[in-house]
Structures are given as C-alpha cells and as structure tokens.
Chains A and B, each alone.
Chain A
C-alpha cells in the first residue's frame, strides 16, 4: 500500500484523498456502505440516513462526514444493522410499497437495501397514505406512493437538466414530492425520458411507460446478487436491468 492518509472501516485500512467523505473513500476502496440518497454524481444530501456509521464512537452519516486520518469507522455491526433496518422500516411504512405488485421489484434499490440490512417486514404501523398517481406524461408515470424523498430527481432536474421539474413542499410528515407546474402534472412540464432526472430514482416511484416486465422476476438486477455487489441502480445501464441510458 502506498502512502497517503488512512482511516479504518471495520478494521480494514482505507486510503483517502483530502476532501473525500467517508462514503466516497469507502466506495473508491470497494467497501460497500448501504445508501439511498447518495449518488456519486451529485453533492451529498444526507437525508435518507441509511449510510450511518460510527465514527470514533459517534453515529454519523458516512455520505456527509469528511474522511480524516486515523478515524475508526464501524459499519457492519449488529447495532448499526438494527438502526439501518429501522430506518428502512420507516420508509416502507411511510409510503405504500407493495413490492409484489410493483414493476420495479427485483431492480429496486430500496428493496435491495432492505434485503441487505435484513429487513423482511416492518413491526411499525403502516401509514397507508393516499397519494394519487401521475400518468399525465406520455413516457413516464410517477407513483408518489413509492417516493422516499431522496430528492435525487429534484437535484438532477434542477442542477443537470436545468429544468427544475421537481420539488419537495411542506414540512414534517406532510413533506411530499411535487411537480413544478400550476396543475401539478408531469405532462405539463418539459420533462423528457432522456433527462438525467429520469435515470436516478432508487425506487419504483418513477417508471418508464410501455416497457413493463422486460425480464421476469427472479432474473432481475438484484435477484442474483446483493446490492453490495451490483451497486446503485442508477449506475447500471438499462440493458442490464438498471436505470442508466446509454
């Protein structure tokens, strides 16, 4: 191993460059830390909290914590697994994630991370919110029931597509994704299937129309290998069952 600053994750030394977060350094070193709102093409957001690790004994989000020499980071401990599992459970009870009836099942990063942290069902009481679908756009359906408010589409549309199609409104448990038009309908925007924003959703909240069930359940992106090996759905080309347009 050549020189440079080091920290450890679960006792493995990780080299990093100044300015990297723990998540970025871990990724570069091939160490998987579960995450949902983090996407290496965007500035860290820190909202989903799935990437929690212990840094010198303090729980912190690895995607927003700068790497520093000598840090002792714990990631795969039973305590952190339970906390991550709890956070996943919260996401599932907050929305309506009926995985067996969801076209994204098997290629959904939310589902894959839930499996990864060992979540099978939630002990928490389901909220069963009522959220209408938006099928007004010719190519894309938005199912707000599956939105986890990671704001990746918001960031992509605003910062990369320059269209500012999506936003989060209101606060607390009332916070929800909206479409920035007076009608609130995606069909009334300039949103296009080739937008970056159409390629980043880690869940089944944003679905491409007219192309369902291209591959059977059981042979989808995360069906054979864990998300730890496969990586983010946004980084895998469409031809391989991911979201990225070639």
Chain B
C-alpha cells in the first residue's frame, strides 16, 4: 500500500498525466495520490502543484478543505464510522469505542505502527442498513461486534480489502414502495428516441405540462431552468447531475445510482439535447465511491449501444458524454455553485449568486444542475408524456417523491409516494408505531411533532429532498438536535461570519443545555442566533443550520425545559473547575480546596428567588443561613 519515497515523484506524475494534467481534475488527482500514499504530504502536494502549474497554496487549499483528504499521516486502513443520529440509534458509538479498544487506537489518531486510524464522519447514506462506516472510502454496512472482531484481525493481518468478506460491503436497496418512477419498466433509449422523433421544443412542452419541480429540495421549476440555460448566450453548455446527497438521512439518490443509473444518464442526455450541451458531469459524493466502477461500466455500455458518445442513436451531431467526478467529504458541495467550484477542481465555497449557474456555471458557461431523481423523472416524462406525470400529486407538486425512511421503524428503506401523502400514512407504512417526532428533510429541514402528522409532504406544505428520520418515544429528541448541531459545525465552509461562528456558538449552547448546564437565557440566545444565521448567511447551509433547533424549541419545548437548571442565567464557566489550576499548582485536592456543593445550590436558589415572590421555605432558609 505504501510507496517508497524515491518513487513518490513518479507515482504522482503518473496520476497527474492520467488526468491530462488538467487543473479541473485537481480534486480527483489528490484523491488518487492519497489512495496510493495514505495521506497528502507537503512533498506530494508540491509535486502535484508543479505538475499542474498551480501555486502550492491552491493545492493546499483543496487538500485542507475536504474532510476525506488528509494533510497529516493516516493509517493504511482508514476507518470512519458514520455519525448520523440514525447510526447512533443503532449503537454506533459503542461500536466505535469497541473497535478502538480492540485495535488499541484513539479516535482520529493513527496507531503507533501507522497501520490504522479510526474516526467518525458525517452520515454516509446507509441509514437503512447501519451502523455504517467507510474503510479507505468503501462503504461498510450493518456493523456489529462479530464483524468488528473480524475487521480488527483483518487489519492486524494487513489483509487487502479484496480479501475481506464481500458481504461486509453489501449495500441493499430496500425499495419498499414503488410508484411511477421505480415501478414501471423503462426501455433504455426511450426518452432519446422520443426527443429525436418529436424535437427538443416538444419535449420542453411536455416538461412544462408535467409541472416537474427539482427533487433536490428547493423545488425550482425544471422547465424554466432548462429554458433559461438553453437561451443563455454561450457556445459551450454543460449538464451537471447533483449526486452529492449530503443531507443526513437521505439515500434515495444512492439507490437510483445503484439500480436506475440508466434512467439518470438518459435524463442527463435528454437535457443535453434540449439545451444544446455535449458534456455532462455526475458529481458523486465520496461516500458512494463503491459505485464508481459499476457506473463507469454502465456508461461504457451506453456508448457501445449508441446511447452516449458521438451521433447518438445514429443522429448526426447528437453528441453527448458523461464524466463522473468524486467528492471528498463536504456537505456544502451539494449546494449547486459550491458543487461547480468543486467540479472545477477547487475548494467548495459557494459563489455569489446572481449570476446563477444557468448563465454562469461550470467554467463560467451556462450549466443546468439538477438532482439525480429529477433527471430520472425527466427521462420518464419524455417517454410517457407530461400529462401522465401531472395526473399524480397535488396542484403545486406534481408527480411522486422518493422518501428515504430511517430511524425507529420496522421497515426502513425507500418509499415512493405521490406528492401530498401525509406524514401519518408514511409512519403506518414503515411500521413506526410509537413515533414521538420526525426529522423531515434532514437536519436542515423540519422537526415534526405528532400534532403535525396530518400535514402533507409537498412543496406547499412540508417540502423535502427526501430524508425522513423517525424518533421513537423512548429517545431523547435532544440527542438528535445535538447531533445535528455538531454536523453543521463540521460542515460549514467557513466563508461567511454568521455560519462560521454561528454554527459553533449554537452547538456550544446545545451542548450546554444537553449536559444539564443550561438556563432559560440560553434558549433565548439560541433563538436570536438562529435568526441571525437564517437572515445573514451567504448560502443555504448557514440559512438552514438553525432550523432543527428552532423547530424543536417550538415543537418539543418540554424536551428543552426538562434539561434546564432552574436559574434564568447560568454562567458558561464552572467556578469550581476554574479553581483546578490553583489546586494543581498548590498540590491540594482536599475538600477544602473545592467549592462546597451548597455553593452551586445557592446560586440556583438565588436565581429561583429572583423570579418568585413566595416566602422562603425552611430548607431554603437553612441553605441560605437565614435565621427563622
């Protein structure tokens, strides 16, 4: 696995050349360099920079931005546990500690022999088959102690991944309910034949008629986007499929890319024909690395049968091809302009908008960015007609939606429903009998309490990209809120003040309350912070990061109140703990060197009294030393 230092230059040069020495391939190059060297040393980054003619700080910027790229040494085996709340519900934290003990390694630190690191990462999109992890970028599912025992010994034996039990890497699709998208057969090429027969203009009319809106979450009218890109000035245009699927709790794009890739590619090719683009890109999240080879095979097969490449279906000038770019662990890269930056090989800070990608996208050329599911649906509409699609769903939300259901239910997996389905219906179908709440549309979405189970899933009511995480009665909803707050701290790109600082401040407050140190003033501060972040952040990440905290304050006030100390204000520092240094210096640790317990009781009591007019009880008098 490791490369001799003497051959470092050669290894890197080879990789760079394989990518045509293109700076737009920088992220892909760094991924591969790391695959051979386990981390990106300053020397390796220097060679990359020279070979691409970039300044070293640009290469470093990219390497430091993505969480799957390492600028400090890692183990030859890099194991990352998925840290979504649904993994935690399935016991992932205990398993993480179990494996660390077994391997004799601390979290995030390489073992002394350099063989292994164990850490955590944001949701890997295996919520219906967790606890999940990644090993050297490849998905591991359904982890339990016996599997970890085996993994520990495979690591200690230096067994290559190809010798690990293949079932550890098995990813199932768990399609539980199929409707018009997943259920009906689609003949490869049907959409492309339709566009050749009827022309791009007629296809656009079908798409207008269908009322299709983007399935990534924001719900932008699809036909408007394609038309505006088609009409934008620019000789070269691009089609980009957003397969970043970073929202914790969603995995429907993974299922589409695994089982319905032809449908997605066909939708992209259709788009190319309609807007006049010859090049498409799939931006595949790094967590779905295991799909890269199968997808490459599918693309090749499509070229061979004339559905991709030059003169598609024999039509002169109908040229379109698709490249797959892998992400490297950055939720913000799901935001379309950050995604484009990343496709260009850069770090993923969202651009200033306007201008929008439809006029200034990839390499500043007009670009359509759509979600995986959206492209799949367009292919179906091209083949079957817009009216057929529009007959499903509600007035404002036509067609169907794929939901990724996970958490406390009997049948987690993918459910396709016509838009307008109630939360209650989904809960019944997935076997969630005692749900105390749902996190809809991921941490950036809505926290729903039972009062709201009759609300409808559609753009005019509960909009969603598809994540649906169920919390049963026995759960502490604040465990979820805390998990989400940490997620956003980890994923903020750091460009703008409200999100960079606000996510950390909010997270500290959630931690403070969750550990029983909060007071009412902290809840007010959360609300104010949330307002500032929503109004002030540069992109959707910061604007939605406080949603789950704000929603849960409204929907589950008792969950928050339960945790509060009864004072209206509680200092963020612990007076007794801050005496620790003095104790250390003086070598004292006897009871006299600690503040008495009553001290904190007195602080609490003083807070209570400040809010209450009733006379003191005997206990209170005693504690305060007041004579009766």
Contacts and interface: CB of A to CB of B under 8 A. Distances in A.
Interface of A: 44, 46-50, 52, 59, 61, 64, 66, 82-83, 86-87, 90-91, 93-94, 123-125, 127, 148-149, 164, 167-175, 178, 180, 182
A169 B45 CA distance: 14
A125 B536 contact: no
B570 to A, nearest CB: 12
Interface string B548-592: 000000000000000000000000100000000000000000000
A114 B525 CA distance: 19
Contact of A94 (B330, B501, B535, B537): B501
Contacts of B57: 164, 167, 169, 178, 180
25 contacts: A46-B352, A52-B535, A59-B536, A61-B538, A83-B535, A86-B532, A87-B532, A91-B501, A93-B501, A94-B497, A123-B525, A124-B505, A127-B504, A148-B497, A164-B55, A168-B494, A169-B64, A170-B494, A171-B347, A171-B494, A172-B489, A173-B489, A173-B501, A173-B503, A178-B57
A180 B572 contact: no
A93 B505 contact: yes
Interface in B514-566: 525, 528-529, 531-532, 535-538
B498 to A, nearest CB: 6
Contacts of A61: 538
B495 interface: yes
Given A164-B55, A169-B64, A175 B500 contact: yes
Interface in B309-367: 330, 347, 352, 354
B13 interface: no
Given A173-B489, A174-B494, A83 B64 contact: no
Contacts of A59: 535-536
B490 interface: yes
Given A170-B64, A173-B489, A46 B538 contact: yes
A172 B532 contact: no
A48 B497 contact: yes
Contacts of B525: 123-124
Contacts of B502: 90
A171 B532 contact: no
Given A83-B535, A86-B532, A167 B498 contact: no
Given A46-B352, A52-B536, A83-B532, A125 B572 contact: yes
B491 A172 contact: yes
B500 A87 contact: no
A82 B493 CA distance: 24
Contacts of A182: 42
Given A87-B536, A167-B61, A169-B64, A49 B498 contact: yes
A240 to B, nearest CB: 29
Given A49-B496, A64-B352, A173-B494, 20 more contacts: A44-B352, A46-B538, A47-B538, A49-B497, A49-B498, A52-B536, A83-B532, A86-B532, A86-B536, A87-B536, A91-B501, A94-B501, A123-B525, A127-B504, A149-B500, A169-B60, A169-B61, A171-B493, A172-B489, A175-B494
Contacts of A52: 535-536
Nearest to B347: A171
B56 interface: yes
B538 A171 contact: no
B30 to A, nearest CB: 15
Given A164-B55, A172-B500, A83 B494 contact: no
Contacts of B528: 82, 86
B98 interface: no
B378 interface: no
Q: Which of B352, B497, B501 has the most CB of A within 10 A?
A: B497
Contacts of B489: 172-173
Contacts of A47: 495-497, 538
A49 B499 CA distance: 10
B425 to A, nearest CB: 34
A125 B531 contact: no
B65 to A, nearest CB: 5
Contacts of B56: 180
A173 B538 contact: no
Contacts of B531: 83, 86
B492 interface: yes
B35 interface: no
B508 interface: yes
Interface string B29-63: 00000000000001000000000000111001100
Contacts of B496: 46-49
Given A83-B531, A90-B505, A172 B493 contact: yes
A49 B352 contact: no
B501 A90 contact: yes
A59 B533 CA distance: 11
Interface string B1-45: 000000000000000000000000000000000000000001000
Contacts of A174: 494
Contacts of B330: 171
Contacts of A127: 504
Nearest to B521: A123
A154 to B, nearest CB: 10
